[in-house]
Copies of this chain bind each other. A is one copy, B any other.
Amino acid sequence: MTRRVRLSDVAALAATSTKTASRVINGHTKVGSDTRDRVEKAVRELGYRPDPLARSLRRGTDDTIGVVVDEVSDPFFASVIGEIERMALDRAMTVIVASTQRLVDREHIVIDGLLQRRVAGLIIASVSHDHAHLKAAPCPVVFIDRVAVNLDSDAVLVDDRAGARLGVDHLISHGHKRIAYLGDHLGIDTARSRLDGYRESLELAGIAMRDDYVIGMDPSLADGGQIVEALLATPEPPTAIFSANTRCSLRVLSTLHRLSRTDIAFVSFGDFAMADALTPPITVIDHSPESIGRLAADRLLRRMAGDEMPTQTITTPLHLVPRGSGELAP
């Protein structure tokens, strides 16, 4: 490994000072054109590239976006990150990912770690319930998927309530009255909002809500099967299931197919691969993780550029894709 090329090497070759070389590289105007040319030539000849670490140390901020999610391997977050990374790369920024595994403590640790690293911006899918401490964050923060609490901040969300209403209304309009709700833990506020939508739809249709039809589960655990079996074994089983979470949908459908209970109507909040190839094909509420990533990154990059616009909560579009499973009669 040859020795690293430093700014002073460039300056020496261009017969000027590091200060002037720095000015040229950072695009300052107050440099004589011949000096500028010499520096640029030297940069090219030596293949100089500024040391990002040294630069960050001095500037007090790193050209890096920190992304905090539940789990990198969750397809939803994977897509979000992919999009963020794409946008970052276009701007020669790097992306640091950190997962919380949905643990509040872990979230604090990773966010703290990222701030220590002086990231230029943060995109967070938070699992904690208070973000007041981020008021003093030294960099812009954009929340995704879940709102910020006690903090005025940008956020890019899915309209959970509306999405759930879309799905449940659809089932109701196809004659269902016994509709179960299966979703994430109710500790997650996304899940609560979706449950609110479900509740609202039932109320508007004059259907009484039954607690035994509402199930919150951990989508990463494999116990989905038993839960569904138990639900179907009750004296008055539901004729339709609204799954409020994509990963839950996968588990539930796997079980329904195993039990050959594909007569049960089904709507999934969130599309997934093969949804159209199942028998019957699965009706879904589609939302786009990519656009969440894009919007969040865009917002963050603007803030990082110094844009002082008022904070905004953006909701991404949402639509129902009827495919068959949601149109089954009771």
Contact = CB atoms under 8 A, between A and B. Distances in A.
Contacts of A263: none
A105 B154 CA distance: 35
A108 interface: no
B136 A1 contact: yes
Contact of A89 (B92, B110, B118): B110
A1, A92, A94, most chain B CB atoms within 10 A: A94
Given A53-B57, A94-B114, A273-B274, 11 more contacts: A1-B137, A49-B116, A73-B82, A89-B99, A94-B113, A253-B277, A254-B276, A257-B276, A274-B274, A277-B278, A278-B278
B138 A1 contact: yes
Contact of A274 (B97, B114, B250): B250
Contact of A97 (B81, B256, B272, B278): B81
A98 interface: yes
Contacts of A17: none
Contacts of A276: 254, 257-258
Which bucket holds chain A's interface residue count?
Answer: 35 or more
Contact of A53 (B62, B83, B253, B257): B62
A231 to B, nearest CB: 18
Nearest to A274: B274
Interface in A46-86: 49, 51-54, 56-57, 62, 64, 71-75, 78-79, 81-83, 85-86
Contact of A99 (B82, B118, B274, B290): B82
Interface string A227-269: 0000000000000000000000010011011100000000000
A195 B95 CA distance: 35
